[in-house]
Amino acid sequence: MLTDPLAEAIAEAEKLIQTAPHIQTPQDLHEGYQYLAGGILATMHATWATERDHPSFVQGTGPFMKMGLDNPDTLYFGARINDDHEYIVTGKRGSTVDLSFQVLNGNYTSANVPGSVTAFDDRELQIDADGSFRAHFGPEPANGRTNYFTLAPGSAQLVVREVYSDWEAERGTLRIERVDTSGTAPPPLTAELVEKRFARAGKALVTRVQTWLKFPEWFYLNLPVNTMTEPRLTPGGLATQYSSAGHFDIDEDQALIITVPKSDAPYQGFQLGSRWYISLDYSNHQTSLNSHQAQTDPDGNIRLVASERNPGITNWIETTGHRRGYLQFRWQRVDRPLTEADGPTVEVVDFADVESKLPYYRTNTITPEDFRARIAARQAAVANRMLG
């Protein structure tokens, strides 16, 4: 049958999930199956919704098909490109805090992080007063042309990130076309092409699972537990993004108090991730906060408390049953180097001691009703992104 390669790949991916070394609880395994379902959705969509000769932007990760410690504040879009053709990206800038573009020379694999050929944010674009823009990506030198970006040899993927700080911001629009094929249609499907696509989706699924099981070993698990690194340029060539990474291991009677200066960077966000290297449920739980959402203390610091039990404060980060997982800060659209002084400190405390460890505890508290309203606002904001 034409779908046999896909069925075999799903079975292989399921075995990878079942035998993942980090599984310790039924929750770990059940979330692995959910992760597998999202991978099937994403790889099938990417294979069938894209044509290299007639490209379009597709969402590779989102609320229902997560990967790569996806940022709850970010919409990710990608398009397959070739380095010897010209492309036009047309769009309208929304009111989100950041819009960035990156050209990669391949895909992430369990053995390789693709190189970043070009990376910039919308400050390098000439944008009309109404937010409209038109950018060209092609093999020729720019030679002073406005909004023209040269594709270096090996360019294979164009990734666009639209980043929220205020979750009620308005998202923009985005479209890509290849100049020489615009106005034409792809060739009709054939049995051979259909079989190739099912096989390609299956291969992509297995690679996806293998890659993101391996990735944390490179950047997280060699760090001391319950600590975070100083801010550093994010691996992968994002020139205006810094990050701080770590992993945690606490029990129900402990909490992490994470203190960080509120940054002058337009975007600063924190999140937790599961051992599947994906974000925790950020729609129905407060598992992430950015500097727009978080409460800032009078001394200019943001103090977050990550714990299973509710400490009754505004900046509670819910671990949602996860004793172990990943910690991640991101700063974006920076216009200066970040140093250790800009980064976080992490303290493990007994849950009973949280109140005494927070210097502004009395102004940090929140009622259950108000916290529930915060969750309702998160649910509405994610739903309004229309990413079902």
Q: What is the pLDDT of residues 150-161, one digit of tens each?
A: 999 999 999 999
Residue 218 predicted with pLDDT over 80: no
Would you give the DSSP letter of residue 176?
A: E
In this prediction, residue 113 carries a pLDDT of 53
pLDDT, mean of residues 265-272 = 98
Distances (CA, A) of 217 to 68, 220, 223, 273: 13, 6, 9, 14
For residue 303, what are the contacts with CB-CB under 8 A and spacing of at least 6?
A: 257, 258, 259, 297, 315, 358, 360, 364
| CA atoms within 13 A of residue 354's CA, in its CB half-sphere | 24
- The span from the CA of 7 to the CA of 219, in Å, is 32
Angle value at C-alpha 131, between 127 and 132, nearest 5 degrees:
70
Where is 40: in which H helix or E strand?
A: helix 26-49
Burial group, residue 39, by CB count within 10 angstroms (0-12, 13-18, 19+): buried
- The span from the CA of 3 to the CA of 198, in Å, is 6
In this prediction, residue 221 carries a pLDDT of 81
Summarised one tens digit per residue, pLDDT across range 46-96 is 999 878 899 999 998 999 999 999 999 999 999 999 999 999 999 999 999
Cα dihedral sign, 320-325-331-332 = negative
The rounded percent of the chain whose pLDDT value lies above 70 is 96
Would you give the DSSP letter of residue 210?
A: H
Summarised one tens digit per residue, pLDDT across range 161-198 is 999 999 999 999 999 999 999 999 999 999 999 999 99
Give the other-Cβ count within 10 Å of 223's Cβ.
15
Summarised one tens digit per residue, pLDDT across range 89-139 is 999 999 999 999 999 985 554 444 556 788 999 999 999 999 999 999 999
In this prediction, residue 288 carries a pLDDT of 98
Q: Rounded to 10 degrees, what is the CA torsion of 205, 206, 212, 213?
A: 140
Residue 307 predicted with pLDDT over 90: yes
Which region, left, alpha or beta, applies to residue 216 given φ > 0 means left and ψ of -120 to 50 means alpha?
alpha
Summarised one tens digit per residue, pLDDT across range 323-371 is 999 999 999 999 999 999 999 999 999 999 999 999 999 999 999 999 9
- The span from the CA of 105 to the CA of 379, in Å, is 36
Residue 318 predicted with pLDDT over 50: yes
In this prediction, residue 237 carries a pLDDT of 65
- The span from the CA of 120 to the CA of 98, in Å, is 11
In this prediction, residue 215 carries a pLDDT of 82
Note the Cα 229 to chain centre separation in Å. 19
